[in-house]
């Protein structure tokens, strides 16, 4: 059990951190014993824990006890650890210890030291862990740090120190049993065809990009000759498209259903046509209005739902106005009849209280947390989380977006560079778990963009890893059930129990109970045992944790599942 002695202002950050690093913890109680104590207060309680982690940029009461000396005070500097390099947003105190070692580094010094005293490990960090978590889950990371899963690195650091200190503990990782991670394939539907656009900026823009732009991109070796020819054929076919005598090459649904055969995906659909929305400060705000709404694609909506896909709201004004949010939600629910509907804002518009507005409006989840400029982890994690101030609404981060990688006014990447970037996100998903959320827009497969081949390759790459492909709503619901699981001390008997907050159906895919045995128990018959042991749990009944930990040295590398 971890005891956390933190400032009252950090309570929400502490609670959410331990929903992401799901391991037994509670607020520090001096009358109880702990394996690990994490303290962010200047006056650290006297504890007998095997691992003591003290955080903060101010002098601590333990510093003179362990010979820890303060150095320079810095702000917003990167920190390097063997788990990875991550940014900090607040103050950081460089530290040194004559009898300790550096366990985290700044560019020119040490951000943390580890001192060993007998069987005790003391980690002194020069920054406040929970203030960093609070900043990441509220303000988020700037674009220059977008590719860093900062929270996931923090979790790996803490887990590593616990293993190094020889502490036996359990964790419920953000990984569905039987899979390495989850994948959400999502599509923002801004257009349903070029037929809705006659003599407007969309049509003229297409004509320019499909002719002059296509030839220019060919000479710059950004597209193949076959794409130039396909663009020109699309231009020539326009009169027939407008007359309804030729297929509309921008119609997205059939193409995506073919590429994603047997894979569920989520389509975020515009609720009301010709509404640019209020309070749009970006360039050309009127162009935010779409020429269609869900009423124009009722047949396609039914087909998508029948094929296991999900319809969500591509919100217009819901990001700042509760009444608008309710109207947009009702418009989509009238077609889908789904009581639990999610949203992603058109143009990713948001402000500090957006998630609270969406919760009051009745949305189950939001998936706006991403960047327009680049792929990345806006909040530093691949996990679904609960935004501060919300009680029921969860946030599904969005990670890889086609337009961010390929548009000329964004990153404007060649396929080779975009592929390396996507591979880094796949590698992080394998390493940290969580959900990898992709956004590919409606006309990205068609002339004049031709980002379809890249998407096909990316989906095939993901299929080869065998992740859990699920709709956004399914992934959010799985994480919601994971959040229902709590670690509680027994009331009448000693020990810690794993229980669910409320009775419910089985959790599918099941959860993993990952057990890390104490260092000394990692051998049997003079042979090394695995670093951890997994068993699956479908969320029924309760599990006594101490019994699981005691059973590990005599177990095989995979413990049996429990109902």
398-417 pLDDT, tens per residue? 999 999 999 999 999 999 99
Q: Tell me, what's the pLDDT at 490?
A: 76
Residue 562 lies in a domain: no
3-state secondary structure at position 454: helix
Residue 560 lies in a domain: no
> What whole-number distance in Å separates Cα of residue 384 and Cα of residue 440?
20
Structure tokens at 514: 């990952």
Structure tokens at 452: 């379809």
Tell me the HSE value of 192 on the side-chain side, using a 13 A CA sphere. Answer: 19
Same structural domain, 128 and 162: yes
Same structural domain, 228 and 260: no
Q: Tell me, what's the pLDDT at 503?
A: 67
Residue 283 lies in a domain: yes
Among residues 478, 509, 526, the one where a domain terminates is: 478
Question: Which residue range forms the structural domain that includes residue 221?
Answer: 196-249
262: left (phi over 0), alpha (psi -120 to 50) or beta: left
Question: Do residues 78 and 85 touch, judged by C-beta distance below 8 A?
Answer: yes
> What whole-number distance in Å separates Cα of residue 342 and Cα of residue 62?
47
Question: Length of the chain in residues, anyone?
Answer: 563
Same structural domain, 155 and 256: no
For residue 543, report the phi and psi dihedrals to the nearest 5 degrees.
-120, 135
**Burial category of 249 from C-beta neighbours within 10 Å (exposed 0-12, middle 13-18, buried 19 and up):** buried
Same structural domain, 352 and 299: yes
Structure tokens at 214: 């296509």
Structure tokens at 163: 């293993």
Q: What is the DSSP letter of 562?
A: B
Structure tokens at 235: 């231009």
Same structural domain, 458 and 496: no
CATH assignment of the domain containing 87: 3.40.50.880
Average pLDDT per consecutive 10 residues, the chain (563 residues; last block may be shorter): 95 98 96 94 89 95 94 96 95 94 95 92 97 98 97 96 92 97 98 93 94 93 92 96 94 97 97 96 90 96 96 98 98 93 97 97 98 97 98 98 96 97 98 98 95 97 98 98 92 79 85 85 53 90 83 48 40
Structure tokens at 328: 């947009």
> What whole-number distance in Å separates Cα of residue 68 and Cα of residue 87?
23
Question: Concatenated DSSP letters for 305-337?
Answer: HHTT-EEEEEESSTTT-HHHHHHHHHHHHHHH-
First to last CA, the chain: 25
Q: Tell me, what's the pLDDT at 555?
A: 41
Residue 513 lies in a domain: yes
Tell me the HSE value of 291 on the side-chain side, using a 13 A CA sphere. Answer: 14
> What whole-number distance in Å separates Cα of residue 384 and Cα of residue 174?
9
- Tally of domains in the chain: 4
Structure tokens at 64: 């003179």
Residue 484 lies in a domain: no
> What whole-number distance in Å separates Cα of residue 22 and Cα of residue 174?
8
Residue 233 lies in a domain: yes
Residue 178 lies in a domain: no
> What whole-number distance in Å separates Cα of residue 436 and Cα of residue 297?
28
Q: Tell me, what's the pLDDT at 195?
A: 93
Same structural domain, 267 and 415: yes
Same structural domain, 230 and 260: no
Q: Tell me, what's the pLDDT at 504?
A: 73
For residue 479, report the phi and psi dihedrals to the nearest 5 degrees.
-70, -30
Same structural domain, 237 and 255: no
Question: Which residues, 6 or more positions from 319, have their beta carbon under 8 angstroms from its beta carbon?
Answer: 325, 345, 349, 350, 351, 354, 357, 358, 368
Give the residue from 73, 72, 120, 128 showing the smallest Cα distance to 99: 120
Q: Tell me, what's the pLDDT at 202?
A: 93
Same structural domain, 402 and 308: yes
Residue 139 lies in a domain: yes
Maximal CA-CA distance, the chain? 83
Q: What is the DSSP letter of 385?
A: B
Same structural domain, 500 and 431: no
Question: Do residues 418 and 402 touch, judged by C-beta distance below 8 A?
Answer: no
Q: Tell me, what's the pLDDT at 94?
A: 97
Among residues 411, 444, 478, the one where a domain terminates is: 478
Q: Tell me, what's the pLDDT at 560?
A: 41
Tell me the per-residue pLDDT of 28-72, one tens digit each, with 9 for 90 and over: 999 999 999 999 998 888 888 999 999 999 999 999 999 999 999
Same structural domain, 286 and 372: yes
Question: Which residues, 6 or more positions from 205, have their beta carbon under 8 angstroms from its beta carbon?
Answer: none
Same structural domain, 231 and 256: no
pTM of the model: 0.94
Among residues 228, 249, 270, the one where a domain terminates is: 249
Q: Tell me, what's the pLDDT at 268?
A: 98
Rounded to the nearest 10 degrees, what angle do helices 11-20 and 129-138 cross at? 80
> What whole-number distance in Å separates Cα of residue 205 and Cα of residue 202?
5
Structure tokens at 519: 């260092």
> What whole-number distance in Å separates Cα of residue 28 and Cα of residue 36?
10
CA 431 to chain centre: 13
Sign of the CA dihedral running 13, 386, 32, 30: positive
CA 69 to chain centre: 37
Q: Tell me, what's the pLDDT at 520?
A: 54
Question: Concatenated DSSP letters for 114-174?
Answer: EEEETTEEEEEESS-HHHHHHHHHHT---GGGTT--HHHHHHHHHHHHHHHTT--EEE--S
CA 412 to chain centre: 24
């Amino acid at each position: 059990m971890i005891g956390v002695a933190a400032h009252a202002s950090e309570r929400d950050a502490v609670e959410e951190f331990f929903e992401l690093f799901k391991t037994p913890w509670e607020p520090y109680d001096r009358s109880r014993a702990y394996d690990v104590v994490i303290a962010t207060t200047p006056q650290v309680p006297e504890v007998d824990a095997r691992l003591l982690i003290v955080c903060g940029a101010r002098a601590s009461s333990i510093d003179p006890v362990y010979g820890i000396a303060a150095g320079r005070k810095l702000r917003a500097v990167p920190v390097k650890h063997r788990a990875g390099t991550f940014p900090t947003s607040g103050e950081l105190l460089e530290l040194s210890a004559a009898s300790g070692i550096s366990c985290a580094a700044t560019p020119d010094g040490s951000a943390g030291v580890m001192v060993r005293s007998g069987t005790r490990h003391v980690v002194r960090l020069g920054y406040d862990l929970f203030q960093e978590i609070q900043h990441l889950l509220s303000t988020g990371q700037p674009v220059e740090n977008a590719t860093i899963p900062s929270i996931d690195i923090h979790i790996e650091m803490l887990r590593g120190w616990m293993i190094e200190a020889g502490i036996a503990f359990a964790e419920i990782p953000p990984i569905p049993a039987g899979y390495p991670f989850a994948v959400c394939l999502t599509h923002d539907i801004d257009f349903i065809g070029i037929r809705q656009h006659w003599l407007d900026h969309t049509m003229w823009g297409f004509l320019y990009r499909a002719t002059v732009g296509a030839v220019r991109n060919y000479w710059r070796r950004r597209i193949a000759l076959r794409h130039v020819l396909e663009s020109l054929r699309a231009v020539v076919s326009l009169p027939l498209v407008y007359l309804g005598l030729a297929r509309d090459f921008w119609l997205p649904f059939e193409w995506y259903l073919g590429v994603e055969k047997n894979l569920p995906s989520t389509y975020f659909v515009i609720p009301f046509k010709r509404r640019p929305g209020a309070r749009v400060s970006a360039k050309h705000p009127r162009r935010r209005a779409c020429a269609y709404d869900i009423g124009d694609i009722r047949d396609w909506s039914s087909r998508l739902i029948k094929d296991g896909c999900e319809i969500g709201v591509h919100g217009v004004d819901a990001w700042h106005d509760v009444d608008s949010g309710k109207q947009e939600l009702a418009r989509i629910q009238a077609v889908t009849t789904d009581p639990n509907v999610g949203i992603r804002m058109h143009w990713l518009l948001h402000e500090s209280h957006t998630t609270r507005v969406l919760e009051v409006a009745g949305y189950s989840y939001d998936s706006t947390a991403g960047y327009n400029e680049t792929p990345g982890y806006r909040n530093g994690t691949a996990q679904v989380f609960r935004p501060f101030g919300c009680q029921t609404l969860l946030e599904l981060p969005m990670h890889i977006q086609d337009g961010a990688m390929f548009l000329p006014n964004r990153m404007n990447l060649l396929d080779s560079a975009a592929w390396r970037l996507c591979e880094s996100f796949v590698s992080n998903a394998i390493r940290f778990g969580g959900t990898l959320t992709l956004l590919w827009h409606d006309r990205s497969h068609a002339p004049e963009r031709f980002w379809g081949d890249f998407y096909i390759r990316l989906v095939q790459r993901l299929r080869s890893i065998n992740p859990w492909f699920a709709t956004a709503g399914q992934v959010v619901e799985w994480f919601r059930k994971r959040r229902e699981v709590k670690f509680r001390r027994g009331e009448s008997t000693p020990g810690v129990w794993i229980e669910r907050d409320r009775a419910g159906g089985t959790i599918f895919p099941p959860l993993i109970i990952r057990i890390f045995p104490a260092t000394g128990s990692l051998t049997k018959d003079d042979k090394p045992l695995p670093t951890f042991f997994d068993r699956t749990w479908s969320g029924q009944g309760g599990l006594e944790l101490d019994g699981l930990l005691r059973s590990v040295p005599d177990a095989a590398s995979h413990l049996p599942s429990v109902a």
